[in-house]
Structure 1
Amino acid sequence: MPIVHLTPSDLEARTARAVAAATSAGRALGFDVADPRVLHDQFSVVVHLAPSPVVVRIPVALPPGLDGAPQTARQVRELAVVAWLADRGLPVVRPSPLVPREPVRRDGFSMTFWEYVDVDASRQPDYIADAALAADLHAALRDYPGELPFLSPLSETVPTCLALLEENPGLLAPADLERLRAEWTVLAPVLSSREGFARVFPQASLQPIHGDAPSYNVIRTAAGVRYADFEDVNLGPVEWDLAFLGAEGAAVYDARAAKVGVRPLDPAVLRVMDAAGSLRMVASYALVPQLPRLAEWLAQPLALWRTKPFAGGVG
Structure 2
Amino acid sequence: MVLKIGTIGTSWITEQFIEAILASSAYDLGAIYTRDASKAAVINEKFGTKAAAFTDLDAFFASDIDVVYIASPNALHYRQVLQAIENDKHVIVEKPAVITPTQFEMVYSKLREHPNVRFFEAARHIHQPNFKKIAEQIKQMDRIQGATFVYNKYSSRFDAFLAGKNPNVFNPDFAGGAIEDLGIYPVYAAVALFGLPQDCQYFATKLSNGADGRGTAILRYADFDVTLIFGKNSNSYLASEIYGLEDSIVIDNIAELNSVLYHRNPTEAEQIADLPHENPMLAEVMVFAEIINNFDAHSEEYQKLLMLSQRVNNVVYQLRQTAALSFPADQEK
Higher helix share: 1
TM-score, L = length of structure 2 = 0.28
Structure with the higher strand share, 1 or 2: 2
